[in-house]
Structure 1
Amino acid sequence: MQTVIDLFVLVWINIMLSGDNALVIAMATRRLPPGQRRRAAVFGAAAAVALRILLTIIAARWLTKPYIQAAAGVALLWIAVRLILPGSATLPPAEEQPESPQLQWWEAVGTIVLADVTMSIDNVLAVAAAAQGNLLLLVAGLALSIPLIVWGSDLIRLLLNRMEWLVYPGAGLLGWMAGGLVAEDPGLGIADQWPGGAWWTAGLAACAVVGVGLWKRWPKD
């Protein structure tokens, strides 16, 4: 009975911390052909979970070392900008059609995996604590989370397709998270040394992502 309770707690923690991952899956797959969306989402989520399991196993060794979070934040900022730029899998220009659906599929999967890894530091540390060294419990909990995260991404994708302007706050949220990762890095110490530094850094990163997206899509004379 205790194992069932521990498994429920682990799954719940992972789902609560994975709303941002569902957002990335939705943004990365929304322009794929309908038949490829679910396959890319499931494949990307499964690959990301496999990497997350590996990260969780070694979490205590290096995830809290200086500059790891900052590097993850920079990578996530790059992902957020790529997702909002014209010509990306998220917002291709209306007059252009994808040259290679297969290449676009792999691009979406790669985006999902890379974003999940960069955003999963908090997930990894929380899940590692909940699993308490039980590898079987860890694998089962993360595996059970996959269908729920994919279902959440389907719902978000429907909203993005109906209200395309939501892509901007979505990418801005990823930028906010990227700035937060950089600010909270123990090596940089921005959040500790500068009152409000985490909020300012996150806000500037979010504004930068949205600003780049608006500038690139602004009609040129």
Structure 2
Amino acid sequence: MDITPLHRKRTARTGVTLIEFVVAFGIFTMLITIASGSFIRSMRVQRTSLQLMSVNDNMGITLEQMMREMRTGYHFCTATDGMTYAGIPAEVITQCQNLASGLNLSEIQFFNASNEIVRYRWINEMLEKGISRAEFFDPVAGASLCGDGTLDIVNGICYHIITGDNIKITNAYFRPSYNDDGDGYSPRITLSFSLTTNDPVAESIATPITIQTTVSARCGESTCPGDS
């Protein structure tokens, strides 16, 4: 009779126990979870970086456009600036008083190099540029001329969005200094913006970008139209 010894070694075909299977599966699951989490985080970081780079580039273009126009501007006013109105046209005084009634530093008005009244304003987490013309006081002619912009009939201004669709501006601030005619100083305008991306995934993990700069207008003493 063939008797198999009790100390016989297990062959390679012998299966694993249930405990060994559970332990191995648990370790495998844990490693897969860690690897997947790291991959997802890296993809989110890359997505956020690309979104913020795009936001920064687009805002840089918008800011350069604003600064270029402000360098050759004059008669700057915002809601609470201390400019005097001596020698300034009556329509500018009215417009500035309308701004002051709103007590809003997120909007600025000035004359550009073409002697047009220009406004920049922060509204609905976007920046808009407005141009004032006589036609914009008329609802019919103004609506036709303004097109897809936002028409302000009260002030005769047509606004158009100048920031990209991917930009979300959470705060904006305009402040002119040395703005009185004949004070011997060129006007200086401080611009400050806090912005982020409209992408909900990137916005949830990104820190808002803060941009602040100062524009020195080239309109100095005896060179502004109001000084002549």
TM over 0.5: same fold?
no
Structure with larger RCO (C-alpha < 8 A, sep 6+): 1
- TM-score, with structure 2 as normaliser: 0.29
